Amino acid sequence: DKGDFEHFMLKEIHEQPELIRSLTQFYFHGEGLESLKKAGSFKPSKFHMTACGTAYYAGLLIRDFLETYNKIPCAPELASEFRYRNPLLIEGESGLFISQSGETADTLAAQELCTESKLKTLSIVNVDGSTLFRNCDNNLLIRAGIEIGVASTKAFTQQVLTGRLLSLALSDELSEESKRVKLTSKFSLLAEKIDHLISRSKEIKDIAESVYNHKGFFYTGRGIYYPVALEGALKLKEIAYVHAEGYAAGELKHGPIAMIDEDMVNVALVGPELFEKTVSNIQEIKARKGVILTIGPKDHEELEELSDYYFGIDFDGLEELSPIYINIVNQLLAYYIAKYKGTDIDKPRNLAKSVTVE
C-alpha cells in the first residue's frame, strides 16, 4: 500500500528516518545485540566484499569503515566479476555479501565460491530466510521492511548503517551500555536530520525542474563521497533513463572532462572530507562551462557562488555518516527528474526487482 504517496519509491525514501531509529534500537538495545556481537567476534585477516548494483556501492562505504576503524583489509568486487576470476582466497579470510533480496544470482555464486574455499561467510541482507541468508555462516539483517520500488533506496541506507554497526562490533565498542547510549544519540541525530532534509523536498524538486532536460549528468565525489556519486548516477539512469556517470572527482581530467559543455550537469558532492580538493575540481568544470549543481555544506558562500544550483546541508556531528545524507538528496533528485520526464518510476523499463539469473 502506497498510502498517501504517489510512488513506492517516494514512500520508501520517507521511511528512512524511522527505519534508522528502529535499526539502532534493535542492535544496541534489543534482540539484535547478541548477533551483532557474534559477528564482531570473528576478526578475519581480510574481507572479500562482493555485491551487485546499489548493494555494491553500499559495500564500498562499508569497505571504508572496515579499513579505517578496524584496520582489516577489505577487497570490494562486483559479484559478477569475482565469481569467474579465480580470486585468491585464503583460510582465515572472510566473504562479506551485501544484498537486499538475498536472491541475486551472482552474489549467491560468489558466496558459494568462498564457502568452497573454506572461508567464513557473512551477509548484510534484508530478506530473512532468503537463499543468501540460509547459505551464509552468519547474517546481519538490515531490517528495511519490504522494498517494492525497483530502485533501491532505503536498503542502501540500512546496509551502510549495518556495515557501520559491524565495524563498531569488530572494535568492541558495543560492550558497554554507556557507549551504546552515546551511539544511539548519534544515529538519532542522523534520523532527525534526514527528517528535516526530506521536509525540504520542494527545494530539490525545483532544482530537478531546472535541470531535467540537460543531456547528461556527471556525479562527482572524492573519498567517502565517491560511492555516493556512483549510486546517484545509477539511480538517475535506472528511473529517468538519462545518461549519467559517477566519477571520482580527481579522475575527470583524465578523460571525461572533454565531454563537459553547457548542456552537461555536474552534480558535485562535497562533504566535510577532502573539501578543498573537491572545490578545485568544481572550478575546472566551471571553466569548461558545465552546469554546476552542488550538494555541499550549508552557508558556504564561496561554493554557492561557484554553483548554478546549491543544496546546503548541515553536517555537524555526522562526518562518517555524511554520505548517507547526501545520498538521500540524490534519491530525491533522481525521483523528481524522473517525474518530470514522465517515466514509470516504480517499475522502470527493462528491469526486475531481483536479478535471479546471470
Binding site for ligand M6R (CB under 6 A): 52-55, 99-101, 104, 107, 150-152, 234, 238, 354-355
**Minimum CB distance to ligand M6R smaller for 54 or for 307:** 54
Amino acid at 206: D
Residues linked to residue 245 through DSSP beta bridges, in sequence order: 218
Minimum CB–partner distance for residue 328 and ligand M6R (Å) = 14
**Minimum CB distance to ligand M6R smaller for 24 or for 99:** 99
Check: CB of residue 55 under 8 Å from CB of residue 355.
no
Minimum CB–partner distance for residue 55 and ligand M6R (Å) = 4
**Minimum CB distance to ligand M6R smaller for 101 or for 322:** 101
Residues linked to residue 97 through DSSP beta bridges, in sequence order: 50, 123
Minimum CB–partner distance for residue 330 and ligand M6R (Å) = 12
Minimum CB–partner distance for residue 126 and ligand M6R (Å) = 7
Minimum CB–partner distance for residue 64 and ligand M6R (Å) = 19
Amino acid at 139: N
Minimum CB–partner distance for residue 141 and ligand M6R (Å) = 13
Check: CB of residue 40 under 8 Å from CB of residue 173.
no
Nearest residue relative to ligand M6R (C-beta): 53
Q: In what side-by-side order are the strands of the sheet with 264-269? A: 243-248, 216-221, 264-269, 291-297, 309-313
Check: CB of residue 19 under 8 Å from CB of residue 145.
yes
Distance CA 153, CA 147 (A): 8
For residue 239, give the nearest of 194, 208, 197 by alpha carbon.
Answer: 208
Minimum CB–partner distance for residue 162 and ligand M6R (Å) = 13
Residues in the chain: 358
Residues linked to residue 216 through DSSP beta bridges, in sequence order: 243, 264
C-alpha cell at 279: 572545490
**Minimum CB distance to ligand M6R smaller for 153 or for 281:** 153
Minimum CB–partner distance for residue 147 and ligand M6R (Å) = 9
Q: CB burial class (10 A; 0-12, 13-18, 19+) of residue 129?
A: exposed
Phi-psi region of 263 (alpha: psi -120 to 50; beta: other; left: phi over 0): alpha
SS3 (DSSP) at 74: strand
**Minimum CB distance to ligand M6R smaller for 258 or for 357:** 357
Residues linked to residue 98 through DSSP beta bridges, in sequence order: 124
**Minimum CB distance to ligand M6R smaller for 294 or for 331:** 331
**Minimum CB distance to ligand M6R smaller for 97 or for 325:** 97
**Minimum CB distance to ligand M6R smaller for 227 or for 296:** 227
